[in-house]
Amino acid sequence: MKDTSGAQVLGRTSWKRLGLVMVPTVIAAGALSVAMANGAIAASFAVSGQQFKLTAGTLTGTGFVQYGTVDQHVDGSPVPAAVSAFASADITNLCQSVVTPIPGIGNVTLTIRAGGGSTPVHADNLIIDMSQLNASTATFTNINIGQDASTLSGSATGAKGQAGLFGQQAEKADLSGVQQVAYSTNAGSFQLHDMSLGISMGSNPCF
């Protein structure tokens, strides 16, 4: 089997920098919900359209899948997104931020930090709809690249795309130096250890 650049894949694949390897048009706290099984609309709620930023020291997950989808604004307009999903995931040194402009006040930044101690953040049935993902290293175990998105399995409940579209899946994914820009995150359970939440004036995102 070969990856999209034509290199031979032998069960484990590592890239020094991970972008959106599946589609050019197109991990983790936020509103909780369940993804639609057909993958036409990944989030079962209307997304705000305001993106949040997340960084993590490491993200280790099992049951990884990735595919493209289209979310929906409350006004019905489409939002192309890349979906990364995990059956379970552990995250260290998580930082999540969203910058909101408030009339008469200016920008206000809400920041959540967790998993900085000995116990990582843990999530089950984790689904992230995003526009950008970077990592300093990314290693995948037993990966299939180019699998039909409708046949993806072994990940979060309902995490699969539409028939005929590009998808990939792996038994395990290990990422470090993670930077992500996302529209939404869904999880069956999300356990944040050593959590802190703060609000600051100005634009002070995690990256």
Instruction: Decide if 3 is inside a domain.
Output: no
Quick check: helix, strand or coil at residue 149? Answer: helix
Predicted pLDDT of residue 71: 84
Predicted pLDDT of residue 4: 43
For residue range 29-44, list pLDDT tens digits in order: 222 222 333 333 344 4
Instruction: Decide if 1 is inside a domain.
Output: no
Instruction: Decide if 7 is inside a domain.
Output: no
Domain count within the chain: 1
Predicted pLDDT of residue 15: 40
Instruction: Decide if 88 is inside a domain.
Output: yes
DSSP state string for 41-53: SSSSS-B-S--EE
Query: In percent, how much of the chain has pLDDT > 90?
Result: 70
pTM: 0.78
Instruction: Decide if 97 is inside a domain.
Output: yes
Instruction: Decide if 206 is inside a domain.
Output: no
Predicted pLDDT of residue 46: 64
Domain containing 60 equals 12-201
Instruction: Decide if 2 is inside a domain.
Output: no
Q: Are 146 and 169 in contact (CB under 8 A)?
A: no
Predicted pLDDT of residue 50: 85
Which tokens in the block code for residue 197? 């939440």
Instruction: Decide if 110 is inside a domain.
Output: yes
Reading the chain (207 residues) residue by residue, the pLDDT tens digits are 444 444 444 445 444 333 333 333 233 322 222 233 333 334 445 678 789 999 999 999 999 999 998 888 888 888 889 999 999 999 999 999 999 999 999 999 999 999 999 999 999 999 999 999 999 999 999 999 999 999 999 999 999 999 999 999 999 999 999 999 999 999 999 999 999 999 999 999 999
